[in-house]
Structure 1
């Protein structure tokens, strides 16, 4: 008994209830004095003590119904000043003694049975009225045990038990809502439910968390204890195991077993039937309490409000149990003294089945203990994890997004030099001095700061305090104030604005599509939403950090854990040259300004040897700074409604008929599938008639060979060449140049354009006529391409290899590592392309691209003008594509301008201007800081 009391006191001490522990010790000390006094009493006197206890307890139970203290919907306590006690506990002692006296008497069996039932019904009924069904159940258990132990004949017991079985279901109507919920939770076997189910789950977590030696070395010990409800009373055994380990819990069960067996064996010593029944009855009471309490802690029985004997907090119960033990010691002592005139022990009828009942209780307690050990072994890890999860709330510390630069390090997309200061209200409010310091550092008035902290629930993890300069944020972070966090402000800045907006894209809150594409993203994660920001989001985004807090069961933060710092995103260097980009955008803007409003333009400059994009322009454009975050919704709506689809990247996302620039592909098809031969002179003139349909030339031109036809963009020559090649050879060669398919550039949303074939046209319900092949020869008909695709086939003609365009050059923080580049793919007919290159050169020296002849290097080019029904500017698209120097090409420039002019007069000046700038600054443009080779 002393071991159980000591373990209960240790539990109260460990969970922070020092005053409760002191109170329990005081009550236990008084109870021990009462035990010693009762121990010295003669057995004959104890009968009067029992009747006195019974009578006083019944009077107190009546008083409870009138003036009792109410809690949880029940009146169970009487209060006298600061002292409170529970009369139903006193009734256990009184009923135990009087039942032993009545059942153990020599009266006839029917009288013993009747008197016992009458005596039991009164306190049981009063206890039910409180209601205190758990104690009432124990009183019923005491009564039944005494009737069986007292050898009441079965003819009385069987009808009693049968009637009880019939009436028992009606008792459900007496249950209070919380008691009914306990029963429902147990029957449903769902420990995840709120209320009692949650309590059982917490008990399991406590049992699993204790280990063998408990949590005394764990700084979270007190917080863990808060999550276990009724840790002082009903679930004290789980709390004891959590705080002091499985060893302490097993010791409590062992002590209870020893006590039950000592009492059961003591029942054989007294030389009176009443004395033996007191010992046996008390053994059964303690055993039932232990079984019901341990079963409830394990979730194997409903949580019935029955505490583990002597271990749970409760002064009345401790005192009554100690007095009851004193009574047993007294009758045991009296039985041990053999008087000469006493009859031998075998003459006394000992309690029936006492040892068998003790054996059964032992078996149940041992099975429950094995279950507890198995719970620790099999589910321990998951339960401990659940315990940590429920007491943890975490904030994400967003990683600073990496910077996007050009090939020389000039910033193109950066974060702002500012931080956001966050406060954890529950932690910061607890330190008024820290509130003053935060106010001073951020410039926010103390009253304003306190009002912001008080305006949110205590469970709030963070409240924005202020946006401050990065230097101030670093200063605040260095102070390391509890409850104050500093995170980078998520706003993104693009210094070049509209010049690069369609290419760079923007960053913003993740969309549902983003969440599907990247599982694990937070709903408020800042990700790349378009352009380079989206294509290289995984590189730029970095790895978010985390700041976790310990929270109490109400969800209020009580302590701040060490933070896991964020890992900033890597920087990304693009192959672009900012100076060249500005020149290309400016030249394209000048060309569009000379055309009627509403047109679009796209241009690209690319290294034909590697596919590295040195500049890419798209107009009209928008300012990607409008996307913030936060988004400037009004300005963004205005930008979206402007003509010319400014949100598109026209160099890669707008496909249009390429016009005569496609003649480079048609001429290459003749090299791959010779039908005319480059030296063959073909009569041309002003038109070409096929099947009764006349196809006009742009001018009345003389007979020409391939080189001359390219130079002068002779439509009739290419009508005849396309007709001679046939659709299959022509479209097959075009496909080898990547026509009608995305180039594979590292930008999202690229258009593949369209390259029709007789088969694909038929599939969409249209007809491929002979004239379809003819007009394909001049870049019209079932054909649309992007400026980038045009630049790509120009590069392939100039070098004999098909490259994959790429904007990403290198990535890193401090030290840069080159990004992998796809190797160029040699064209199978590359060795036969010299005549085509000669035609490109002749176009500059003596043909339609003569304006490029003034450049300091030999240039090859092709102009084009295409009819485009989708064009808003006169229905024409003007093209020019060029490669230089033709002896060893290092640059390709392609431009498309919508307008009523011709390629040489609209797109031509764009190409001329940017090539002049490129060759004037070539060394500087191609230079880069040191970059490590990619792995």
Structure 2
């Protein structure tokens, strides 16, 4: 024996033991203690078998090979008769103490027998003998059916032929036959095997179906990190989601539990075994010994590469374990025997190097070093792929890993109230609560606990049991809706797996008076989920009005009660609970009392005049704070719940009256009539076309371009003040003609005509401000008379009441404001909702004559009924022709500001089809101003 060389190989044996230890760690981290003990016992037996085999003389290895071959064939023949079937395949023999898988013996036999046959070199007869000997076990394994193992056996035989330096020409037909038979292999595949191939070839495999194993392997490797997750308390449950974690996907499982470092150790240990087998093959004294050592190294290399590749989804899920590492009794024993064979070859080569029977060049298997390099490179590359998975998508996979462990029951947050300026509730929550249970966990409780809950719910135990049964696979079972006292009793009982949370049903004390302002709440639909992507299914959100606009503040933050579930979705333990955070209360500038007065007065005006709809707004002329926004007809938003009262909703929507769901203050536009004249007068102030004190010809009509345009009553010549005071159409026909549509439109645009006011409610419409260009753009024609009609707010001009209120207050104060309902939100005084600052008009310093006309109208003109107010007023009335209006087709408008010297509030009223503005809308404006002044100055309101 040469000095310095040892018969044993500590690197080889040590790598084998490392694989065994890592396999034990994998099993222990998954809580498979009994399997770990069995794995350790088999490893000890395997070490004994390895020691015995390692003492064998190389000359006797061929005997072992033929004995193993014969035993394998006999056992494979016995499998169809007495074997154990799993997933439609019969592959195991139950020997009582343990099960035996003969196909694992076949792998070793097909290394030893070809080595024995080809030890004397290549001849056509020996080549045929190898093929014939291999065909028997391969065919029997394929019939089990175990096509993946049969393919591995074919690969082993080809490997041995290549190592034995069989010429490539005789093997060419084998390769051709293999390629040609690939399509026929589909006929022998089981459905689950076809699914594995489909998953590998398709990117659209369902992760919850056929793609489950591949997806879970990605999650395991991607989320394992460098050191794994085994220290986490829920890791045992987490590992249950990875199928075949102890066998085929043991590499992914090890990385999941012990990290990529442990996976790297598996790759290194496998590479060391391959290389030490290569070294033994190169040092072998005989050709047979060299083939055996090289074949064992190739067998370990193929298993390691294919197994790790399938864990990384680089190959189809073939069911390939890593010997000594993956759990399996037969594979473990055979693996140690194979290591013992390599040690025997090494020992023989080291002990008797001078007795070599043939030159080393002929003994050395073909491509053994290149194969070892290929295996090593493949394992290093796949380790790099695993590292990239962790660095590029690690956070994503960890989130998925965490998420699939839990199912969370949403605990809805209580919605904040909506209050008026004085704290009067406008929207509040019904004191009603949902009682639910975590279905399967509660069903497993003691009968006395179930009976106690049934008693608290005032139902029979049988009914409770039926509800739990009907829940099926759902995590949560809703049992009942209860009142506050009953809910408190259930909470105080502190029963396990029972949840109590508010139903979220909304109540609106003011009903139809404020429905079109406040809106309502409903279950989020697809459009809501797009608006708020973070919403949970079943969330309740604002659907209209203030509820919609300020939903983020009112909704609060939902809580959750999570439970850990197994891969079947069955709850197994309580997880984290996050208590809901109540939504903020929202305070409005709105005055509930003034709103009721407005609604009552407006309803009376619509009914008495024969109109079909009405709108009234009271707004702070300095800030835009909306004090009242009445709209009739309305609807009862209480019917929307949720849940919706279907019968009441049908009755409400079927009631007479147009646009019940609309707030006509900002969602209905109509010709503004003479209220627009102060806008035209402001345009004259901006451009100075007609001096304010210049009188223009009066009369009962004005003729222009062969057409006659009527006045509402004959009048004499008027200056600007008189024309506004008495709403002189003839004056404004002439003024509009001289200004032209572009200059009127420029001033109107600055006053907000034809565009949204910016009110903090969804669904505002624009109205329309017509010019020759804008009318042509929609396919219309601008006639010469269109300019005159524009001068009196008819024709191509439509406006909403909120727009009329804006231009009225803008002219009175010199600045336009943005209407706003919300004042503040949050506890106590809360946080102020920011408002847009007033926007000064560029011609504010030239509006004196316009204001004088408004003052004259309220003192002794068309709006003279306001003269009896305790403060000064400025106003403009309007009676607009509207073909869409009922009756005589006249809309009644009235817009006023008080006190006029220092404006505080603007009131604008529209009654569509109401006739003359002074007669129909005027009393409503006066009533609202009286109520406002009574509240702010303590004077008794007039009637």
TM, length-normalised to structure 2: 0.86
Is 1:318 the counterpart of 2:318? The answer is no
**Take 1:138 and 1:763, find their aligned partners in 2: how far apart are those partners?**
76
Is 1:309 the counterpart of 2:323? The answer is yes
Indicate conservation of the 8 Å contact 1:549/1:561, yes or no: yes
Is 1:604 the counterpart of 2:617? The answer is yes
- Map of 1:10 onto structure 2: 25
Is 1:410 the counterpart of 2:424? The answer is yes
- Map of 2:504 onto structure 1: 490
1:855 Cα offset (Å)? 2.1
Indicate conservation of the 8 Å contact 2:606/2:914, yes or no: no
SS in 2 for 1:863: strand
Is 1:797 the counterpart of 2:826? The answer is no
- Map of 1:378 onto structure 2: 388
1:86 Cα offset (Å)? 1.8
- Map of 2:82 onto structure 1: 67
- Map of 1:928 onto structure 2: none
Indicate conservation of the 8 Å contact 2:291/2:365, yes or no: no
Is 1:369 the counterpart of 2:379? The answer is yes
**Take 1:463 and 1:395, find their aligned partners in 2: how far apart are those partners?**
10
**Take 1:467 and 1:262, find their aligned partners in 2: how far apart are those partners?**
72
Q: Deviations over 1:759-799 (max 9, x none)?
A: 44455565555544444444433333222222223223322
- Map of 1:890 onto structure 2: 904
In the alignment of these two chains, the number of paired residues is 915
Indicate conservation of the 8 Å contact 1:696/1:716, yes or no: yes
Indicate conservation of the 8 Å contact 1:425/1:461, yes or no: yes
Distance 1:654 1:91, change over 3 A: closer
Indicate conservation of the 8 Å contact 2:438/2:498, yes or no: yes
Q: Relative to structure 2, which stretch is displaced further, 611-620 or 65-74? A: 65-74
Q: Deviations over 1:376-410 (max 9, x none)?
A: 43220415632541525555554443322212222
**Take 2:61 and 2:734, find their aligned partners in 1: how far apart are those partners?**
129
- Map of 1:159 onto structure 2: 170
Indicate conservation of the 8 Å contact 1:492/1:507, yes or no: yes
- Map of 2:644 onto structure 1: 631
**Take 1:37 and 1:828, find their aligned partners in 2: how far apart are those partners?**
106
Indicate conservation of the 8 Å contact 1:280/1:351, yes or no: no
**Take 1:844 and 1:344, find their aligned partners in 2: how far apart are those partners?**
130
- Map of 1:915 onto structure 2: 929
Distance 1:908 1:110, change over 3 A: closer
**Take 1:274 and 1:283, find their aligned partners in 2: how far apart are those partners?**
14
SS in 2 for 1:894: strand
Distance 1:249 1:901, change over 3 A: closer
**Take 1:189 and 1:600, find their aligned partners in 2: how far apart are those partners?**
59
Is 1:881 the counterpart of 2:895? The answer is yes
1:172 Cα offset (Å)? 5.0
SS in 1 for 2:616: strand
Distance 1:508 1:457, change over 3 A: same
**Take 1:714 and 1:287, find their aligned partners in 2: how far apart are those partners?**
102
Distance 1:285 1:403, change over 3 A: same
**Take 1:767 and 1:333, find their aligned partners in 2: how far apart are those partners?**
107
Is 1:618 the counterpart of 2:631? The answer is yes
Distance 1:873 1:575, change over 3 A: farther
Q: Relative to structure 2, which stretch is displaced further, 37-46 or 235-244? A: 37-46
Q: Deviations over 1:111-169 (max 9, x none)?
A: 65454444333323322322334444444455455556667xx46x6414533443453
**Take 1:108 and 1:772, find their aligned partners in 2: how far apart are those partners?**
108
**Take 1:83 and 1:764, find their aligned partners in 2: how far apart are those partners?**
87
Indicate conservation of the 8 Å contact 1:273/1:351, yes or no: no
Indicate conservation of the 8 Å contact 2:222/2:398, yes or no: no
**Take 2:77 and 2:906, find their aligned partners in 1: how far apart are those partners?**
103
**Take 1:722 and 1:883, find their aligned partners in 2: how far apart are those partners?**
25
**Take 1:367 and 1:454, find their aligned partners in 2: how far apart are those partners?**
56
- Map of 1:570 onto structure 2: 584
1:895 Cα offset (Å)? 1.7
**Take 1:111 and 1:372, find their aligned partners in 2: how far apart are those partners?**
41
**Take 1:110 and 1:676, find their aligned partners in 2: how far apart are those partners?**
119
SS in 1 for 2:918: coil
TM, length-normalised to structure 1: 0.87
- Map of 2:231 onto structure 1: 217
Is 1:586 the counterpart of 2:596? The answer is no
Distance 1:449 1:690, change over 3 A: same
1:619 Cα offset (Å)? 0.9
Distance 1:858 1:84, change over 3 A: same
- Map of 2:134 onto structure 1: 120
Q: Deviations over 1:343-380 (max 9, x none)?
A: 94133566956577553443234223322432343220
1:680 Cα offset (Å)? 4.8
- Map of 1:645 onto structure 2: 659
Indicate conservation of the 8 Å contact 2:106/2:137, yes or no: yes
**Take 1:145 and 1:822, find their aligned partners in 2: how far apart are those partners?**
81
**Take 1:735 and 1:492, find their aligned partners in 2: how far apart are those partners?**
40
**Take 1:694 and 1:435, find their aligned partners in 2: how far apart are those partners?**
87
* 2:567 equivalent among 531, 553, 575: 553
Q: How does 1:629-778 map to 2 (within 5 A)?
A: 629-641=642-654, 642-674=656-688, 677-680=691-694, 684-690=698-704, 693-701=707-715, 705-723=719-737, 725-761=739-775, 768-769=782-783, 771-778=785-792
SS in 1 for 2:669: coil
Gaps of 5+ in 1: 926-935
Indicate conservation of the 8 Å contact 1:595/1:873, yes or no: no
1:498 Cα offset (Å)? 0.8
Indicate conservation of the 8 Å contact 1:103/1:146, yes or no: no
